[in-house]
Amino acid sequence: MTEFEPKIVGFLCNWCSYAGADLAGVSRYQYPPEIRIIRVMCSARVDPMIVLTLFKEGADGIMIGGCHIGDCHYISGNYHTEKRAFVIRRLMEKAGLEVDRFRLEWISASEGERFASTVAEFTEKIKELGPSKVMEDSDLASRVGAAVDTSLDFRIRALLGHEVGMIEDGNVYGEKKTEDEMREIIDAAIEDEFRRSLILEITSSKPASAKELSQVTKLPTDRIVEHIATLRQKNLLAVDHIEGMTPYYVALRVGGD
Binding residues (CB under 8 A) for other proteins: these are 7, 9, 11, 14-15, 18-19, 21-26, 28-31, 33, 36-42, 44-50, 53-54, 57-59, 68, 70-77, 80, 84, 109-110, 116, 152, 154-155, 157-158, 160-162, 164-165
Cβ 48 to other proteins shortest distance, Å: 8
> Is 60 in contact with 7 (CB distance < 8 Å)?
yes
Rank residues 88 and 210 by Cβ distance to other proteins and give the closer one: 88
Give Cβ neighbours of residue 33 (< 8 Å, ≥ 6 apart). none
Cβ 6 to other proteins shortest distance, Å: 11
Give Cβ neighbours of residue 226 (< 8 Å, ≥ 6 apart). none
Cβ 226 to other proteins shortest distance, Å: 23
> Is 12 in contact with 38 (CB distance < 8 Å)?
yes
Rank residues 1 and 26 by Cβ distance to other proteins and give the closer one: 26
Cβ 21 to other proteins shortest distance, Å: 5
Q: How far apart are CA 73 and CA 187, in angstroms?
A: 29
Rank residues 68 and 223 by Cβ distance to other proteins and give the closer one: 68
Single out the residue of 246, 70, 244 nearest to residue 228, CA to CA.
246
Rank residues 8 and 228 by Cβ distance to other proteins and give the closer one: 8
> Which strand (E) or helix (H) includes residue 177?
helix 175-205
